[in-house]
Amino acid sequence: MLFDKIKSLSQQSLIYGLGYVLSRFLAFLLLPFYSHLMPPEEYGALVLVYMFIAVMQIIYIGGLDIAFLRFYVAEPDETKKRILSNCFLATGAIALLLTLYFYNFPASVISIMFDSPPVKASLWVRIASGILLLDTLSVIPLFRLRGEKKATLFAVIKLSNVVINIAGNIVLVGMFHMGLTGALYANLISAAAQLLILLPFLLPYLALKIRLSTLKELWRFGLPNVPAMLFLYIIEFSDRKIIELTCINGLEEAGLYSAGYKMGMFMAIITTAFRFAWQPFFLSEAKNEGAEKTFARIFTYFFLATGFLFMLFVMFAADLLMMKLPLIKIAILDPGYWQGMAVFPVILLAHFFDGLYANFTVGIYIKKKTKLIPVIIGAGAVFNLSANILVIPRFGMMGAAWTTLGSFILMAWLLYTLINRHYPIPYEWGRILKFSIIWAIVMAIYFAFTPYIWVRFLLILIVPIMLYFANFFNQSEINRLKSTLKLAKDI
């Protein structure tokens, strides 16, 4: 029974992960496309507009996305329609009011976004406000798909959004040479298309009635997520600006750091996919007897799987990124950026701890303790900003990487410490310690013998053997593995 639940969670995570990877890959294709069709200053303006959209999306939604997921999954079927209606109508009303404001008074944000506002800045803000409205209206139906564990449908819709966006860019930016304006219109069209696709999953479940008592409870749960997400932006982006301002050749080092940081997103993709599947899973599982033991076992397997993947990424990813492709004789990562790979393992480890943080959020949702989230992430942001100011001028991008790791470790530790008293989970710390010791030994040997690829392959192969002799696996896991191997052999 437990293995079946874990199998279902793994399948959902894999689907979300594949969808996320494909979406990010397709979106990444726009970067070289823009580089040939927009001058650097116009592309820089586009980045600023998208930063505005990303920050304002947090305000538009107001935390009702996580509130919807919490109550929609956990509450009985007869109240689901009321929860969906309240969340959708509230987010829609707020989004409409904010969009009307930005559409009529774009100058109120232009001076914040641009030092020297371009001629078309007002138009860009108006289009951005339309994108924000349409994206916000899509949030609740998308989260309903997550709550219903319809991972494949969710991934297909998100992929469709990206494909339509790329097609719009090819036409408006590539063929009609509309530049930044065309890129924003393409995004607006794809956001509208996504909402139209989602309407069948929204309208039959929508009642045009708001119950203030329900809305009050939803906001009490969701609003703390707003400052928390803003604090998270400080952790994610402040280091680049401090590198740029305090280091010799600051812009160059910020670019190298950003490249290495993006390579570290391999682990972020895994933790993001896990998050998408994990939240609906634990909210529905929490009602069952013995749920805490299930969560503890999943944490052990997550720690094992992501720790093993960390070893694979660190040992082999750099070689793959630096190798020359057979036909065109060009490296995947330009040699000018190889220096940035120094931060790669540290950023990978930071996102590993972000995955542990995601595991620890169980009690936050079940016990409705979201007020702790801005406190925890706020502490991480204060640490991050303070440490970056101190260490980046001396240690450059490596200082930024270690500070990022420290921030994620601090947040994971604070979350575990604060929530465990409200919702104790019997985590299998003995097994975690066994794997951690083996992990440390393997990585120490790797760093001592990095040039020898046969050593790396050997280390990966002996990890499961070391785990076996350390009595990491229990009898039920060994029996399950034997039956799986026997089935594979019979096939």
End residue of a domain, out of 198, 223, 248: 223
**Domain match, 165 and 275 both:** no
* 420 and 434 co-located in one domain: no
> Which of 206, 223, 240 marks a domain boundary?
223
Look at residue 118 and give its three-state secondary structure. Answer: coil
Within 10 angstroms of residue 417's Cβ, the number of other Cβ atoms is 11
pLDDT reading at 487 higher than 90: no
Q: Please name the residues in contact with 216: beta carbons below 8 A apart, sequence gap of 6 or more.
A: none
* Residue 277 pLDDT class (50, 70, 90 cuts): very high
Does 365 lie in the same domain as 303? yes
What pLDDT score does 74 carry? 85
If you average pLDDT over every residue of the chain, what do you get? 91
Asked if residues 80 and 148 have their Cβ atoms less than 8 Å apart, the reply is no
* 328 lies in the same domain as 459: no
Give residue-wise pLDDT tens across range 311-362.
999 998 877 777 776 766 676 666 767 787 889 899 999 999 999 999 999 9
Give the pLDDT band of residue 488 (cuts 50, 70, 90): low
Domain encompassing residue 140: 18-223
Last residue of a domain, one of 176, 208, 223: 223
Specify whether 368 is located in the same domain as 456: no
pLDDT class of 489 with cuts at 50, 70, 90: low
- Which has the minimum average pLDDT: 46-50, 324-328, 394-398? 324-328
Do residue 112 and residue 75 come from a single domain?
A: yes
Total domains in the chain come to 3
- Global model pTM greater than 0.95: no
pLDDT (average), residues 141-148: 96
Percent of all residues in the chain with a pLDDT value above 90, rounded to a whole number: 69
User: CA torsion 365→370→375→376, rounded to 10°?
Assistant: 10
Q: What is the pLDDT of residues 208-236, one digit of tens each?
A: 889 999 999 999 999 999 999 999 988 98
Residue 65's alpha-carbon distances to 22, 86, 99, 188, 375, in angstroms, are 24, 11, 19, 21, 20
The percent of residues in the chain predicted with pLDDT above 70, rounded, is 95
Determine the average pLDDT of the residues in 12-19: 91
